[in-house]
Amino acid sequence: MNHEKSHKAFERARQLMPGGVNSPARAFGGVGGEPVFIDRAEGAHLFDIDGNRYLDYVGSWGPMILGHGHPGVIAAIDAALRRGASFGAPTLAENQLAELIIEAVPSIERVRLVNSGTEATMSAVRLARGFTGRPKIVKFAGNYHGHVDSLLVAAGSSAATLGAPDSPGVTEAAARDTLVLRYNDVDAVQAVFAQHGSTIAAAIVEPVVGNMGCVPGSLEFLNALRQATARCGALLIFDEVMTGFRVAYGGAQSRVGIRPDLTTLGKIIGGGLPVGAYGGRADVMDRVLPAGKVFQAGTLSGNPLATAAGIATLTTLRDTDPYPWLEQLSDRLARGLLAAGQRRGVACRVGRCGSMMTLFFSDRSITNWDEASACDRRRFATFFWNMLDRGVYLPCSPFEAMFVSTAHTSEDIDATVAAAAESM
């Protein structure tokens, strides 16, 4: 494949923006080489500026569950734009998107719209600390919650470790109150709450992790977290920025039957435009300004274009219920990838929940960051480029999830499996 125009564009981009990108995840750092520049997208396909066509399994890292250029979403954004891009004043569309979210996610009684997943998790953590009057936050190695100082904390070992900053600029003070545990480790949860329970404001967790590759939380682990937080008066925050409306219309919590106290959302609820949200128990959310005293604000929060795209996306998901079909397609893809590995004698596993999944090059199942980080990264990088050359656009890191959309077809899945068999 010819990537000449992308190469030139990337050379220029690196003179303009740090690393040539506006988010490190898209810089191809995990696979080497240079990113391709996308010109346009349609349905399940991306087209780069050199005219190459790809089957897209990134979907903008999750939002594009309806595929690119869904006519209902385009029409909604177009109509909203003609009425005005932004007012900085309340609109009926914010009521409508809030109602859709509250109807879909049982644990959410009140919701606040923001502009990104990071804003959602940052605000949820501040609210938990404001509501409980406690400092400590529990998070899990391999879970990513956006670039919030207190959550950019190095992955600890299985025992609770007082977090160490994971990035220059994050101070010891910002990380000091963050406890990092091993994911899916029930004993670690029980030990840390026994030791620190009275000073823990909240535990924040991806109920199905997308950010160490796709690793579902065990029911035992998630229930242990629910019980431990309830027992000591801490809040449970489900970070469903990726899983919300992805793994089910009601998110991962509707699959496991656990009600967190707060939930963070993003990605799909904006239909590709910038929207995040945090919501949950009314008695907790009513502590947020101006109902309460916990400060949080945003110029473009709930803006007309993003809410229009979100409303169109969620109403389409609610009214068409594509989840059984997405499950069928995704199961077919997962089985096909595993079969391709077996035929080629390549040890691999698939972590999957609904239409989000990851192919791990490993000879054992992946349940936590220690296991995920031990996977064969070099083999992944080779696989990534072989697939790209065959017109299949995968996440450019072994620690991300790939996504199937309603625009993918059975033929697309079979073509992907055939390409994988040649690419491992």
* 197, 190 contact by CB (below 8 A): no
Catalytic residue, chosen from 54, 144, 183, 323, is 144
Least spacing, CB of residue 102 vs ligand KE4, in Å: 20
> Contacts with ligand KE4 in 93-152 (CB under 6 A)?
116-118, 121, 144-146
- Cβ neighbours of 257 (radius 10 Å): 10
Least spacing, CB of residue 109 vs ligand KE4, in Å: 21
Least spacing, CB of residue 150 vs ligand KE4, in Å: 14
Is residue 376 annotated as part of the catalytic site, yes or no? no
**Binder of ligand KE4 out of 201, 241, 337, 417 (CB under 6 A):** 241
Residue with smaller CB distance to ligand KE4, 6 or 263? 263
Residue with smaller CB distance to ligand KE4, 94 or 400? 400
**Binder of ligand KE4 out of 10, 28, 61, 385 (CB under 6 A):** 61
Least spacing, CB of residue 263 vs ligand KE4, in Å: 11
Residue 25 found at the interface with ligand KE4 (CB under 6 A): yes
Least spacing, CB of residue 146 vs ligand KE4, in Å: 3
Catalytic residue, chosen from 139, 267, 323, 393, is 267
**Binder of ligand KE4 out of 56, 177, 206, 412 (CB under 6 A):** 206
**Binder of ligand KE4 out of 43, 63, 244, 266 (CB under 6 A):** 266
Residue with smaller CB distance to ligand KE4, 239 or 336? 239
Is residue 293 annotated as part of the catalytic site, yes or no? no
Residue 63 found at the interface with ligand KE4 (CB under 6 A): no
Least spacing, CB of residue 21 vs ligand KE4, in Å: 9
Is residue 239 annotated as part of the catalytic site, yes or no? yes
* 138, 179 contact by CB (below 8 A): yes
Residue with smaller CB distance to ligand KE4, 244 or 341? 244
The residues that are catalytic are: 144, 239, 267
Interface ranges with ligand KE4 (CB under 6 A): 23, 25-26, 61, 116-118, 121, 144-146, 206, 210-211, 239, 241-242, 266, 276, 400
